[in-house]
Homo-oligomer: A and B are copies of this chain.
Amino acid sequence: MSSAERVRAAAVKLFATKGFHGTGIRDLAQEAELSSATLYHYMGTKEDLLVEIMTTSLLRLIDAVAKATAGSDDPVVRMRTLVALHVLAHAAQPGETRVVDNEVDALSAPARARVVALRDEYERYWAKAIEDGAAANVFHTAQPTVTRLALLEMCSGVARWYSPKGPLKLEDLATHYAELALRVLGHPVAVRAQDLRQCLEVVAQVWDLPVQEGF
C-alpha cells in the first residue's frame, strides 16, 4: 500500500471510529506510519481529506446505483437492488459510510452543501422507486417520505454493527434486509440470493473488491 493510500485508509479508520474532531493530525500520522509533516504531501487540509472521502464514497454509491438499476422499470426490483447495494456498501465499507453518515456536520458550509447535494442525488433513487411503487400500487405506505427515511436509517445502521467475522454472510445480510424493506413497503415477498447476484458484482466492481461471497 502506498503512502497516499495509507493516509486515506488511516483517515477513514480514525474518522469513522473517533470522529473528525476527535482525530488529530498526529493520530493520522501515527496510523499511517508517517510524520505529521509528511502527511501534507498527500493531502490538503484535514477538511480536504474529509471532503475527499465523503465525495468519492457518495460518488461510488451513486455510480453503483446507476449501474445496478439501469434498465429496470420494476419498482420492486429497483427497491430490492437499492437496499441490497446500500447494505452491501455499508457492510463492506463501514468506515467510509460511517464517515459520510456521521460527519456531515463537521464540514464547512460550502463543502457541506456539495456533499448534501450528492446525498440528495443518491436519495432521489430511493424516492423515485418508492413513488413509482406506490403509483403502481405495489407499495402501500401512507407516508412515503417518512418511510424512505426510515428505510435509509435502517439500512445505514448496518455499518455500525456488522462484522464480516460474524456468522452472517454478506449475501444473507443483503437478502434479509431486502425482505425487511419490502415488508416495510407493504409488499412482503421472499427475496432469493440469486436475485442479488448482480448487486454483488456491481459492488465488487465499483469498490474494487475481490469477487467472492464475503469480499
Q: Chain A: residues with CB nearer than 8 A to chain B? A: 17-22, 102, 105-106, 142-143, 146-147, 149-157, 160-161, 168, 172-173, 176-177, 180, 183-184, 186, 188
Contact = CB atoms under 8 A, between A and B. Distances in A.
A90 to B, nearest CB: 11
B153 A157 contact: yes
Contacts of A172: 143
A147 B205 CA distance: 29
A26 to B, nearest CB: 12
Nearest to A173: B146
B146 A157 contact: no
A150 B180 contact: yes
A106 B22 contact: yes
A22 B147 CA distance: 31
Nearest to A160: B153
Nearest to A16: B105
A145 B3 CA distance: 40
A17 to B, nearest CB: 6
B183 A143 contact: no
A183 B188 contact: yes
A209 to B, nearest CB: 22
A142 B178 CA distance: 13
Contacts of A151: 154
